[in-house]
Amino acid sequence: MLRRQTRLRREFIYRKSIEDRERTIRDKKQKLKSAVDNNKMIDGTLRKQAIELDNATAWDDEGGEGTTSTQDDEYRWAGVSDPKLVLTTARDPSVRLKQFAKEMRLIFPNCKRINRGNYDLKQLIHACRANEVSDLVILSEHRGVPDGIIISHLPYGPTAYFTLLHTVMRHDVPEAQNSKVSEAFPHLIFQNLTSNLGKRVTNILKYLFPVPKSDSRRIITFYNNDDTISFRHHTYKKEGPSNELTEVGPRFEMKLFKIIQGTLENADSADVEWAHRPFMRTARKRKFLSEEDD
């Protein structure tokens, strides 16, 4: 079984690498074609390959514009079958983390919370695969304060690591103390997640939830501001001519730390798709600070 899973994962990663290479070549062809059609200077990175790319473009069929994948991706069943989640915590969770896990279980429809106990990651992943679980969610803490969430998509990944900031439990939200948590499938709002990385994060988060019905009165919002995603959970009801919006909690901020192309049991050997390196991505911030000083 383990050899079969390893083989299937390698085949999947190989197909994805072929797709990435073809996507890169297609993007170069589009840039070259755009420069020629608009009578503009060819980009310096394409000049050495311009003749080769132009010859290859002549054999391309029309009608395939916008195609991004020739192989099924990780979320090929999204919208066809509802996601099936398992939520657990790090080992030896505090009372506060256990309470936070109970609240998070109510956030995700079709989610089952299990006690971590002495199970290691390999056992958890194996059990999830055997029961056709789509995503494994693990919560962590630091001195009783929830500070991390890991979302591992099964069977092959990706796995996203988020840091949690400013976590407010549901019973600490004034509006939520006298309200019940709706079990309806929520409508999702994603704001300011338009970059390629933002779209990747949107897919990872979006497909944790099933498709809602049109009359659902539950809303979950992911709002990105300066690479920090604010999570908010609301319900609304009709009050005369207007709608009354009520926050039911919990609330927290999420900061993406890393995305790997694999699941948790092979995190050490899996390729890193993206990692947060704050000391290598400071050009925009330095420019903003210099403008403020002026």
Beta bridge partners of 222: 190, 231
- Of the chain, the percentage scoring pLDDT greater than 90 comes to 45
Domain-embedded: residue 286: no
- The residues, ordered by sequence, that sit 6+ positions from 277 with a Cβ below 8 Å of its Cβ are none
Answer yes or no: is pLDDT of 10 > 80: no
CATH number of the domain within which 229 lies: 3.40.50.10480
- The pLDDT, as a whole number, for residue 59 is 46
Domain-embedded: residue 265: yes
Identify the CA nearest to 188 among candidates 208, 206, 170, 214.
206
CA–CA dist 196, 108 (Å, integer): 25
pTM: 0.77
* Same domain for 121 and 59: no
* pLDDT tens column, 21-73: 777 877 777 777 777 777 777 776 676 666 666 656 654 555 444 444 544 56
Token couple for 140: 């962590």
Place of tokens 């009578």: 39
The end-to-end CA distance of the chain, in Å, is 63
Domain-embedded: residue 75: no
* pLDDT tens column, 136-184: 999 999 988 999 999 999 988 899 999 999 999 988 888 776 777 888 9
The domain boundary, picked from 38, 67, 96, lies at 67
Q: What residues make up the domain containing 44?
A: 1-67
Number of domains in the chain: 2
* Same domain for 149 and 34: no
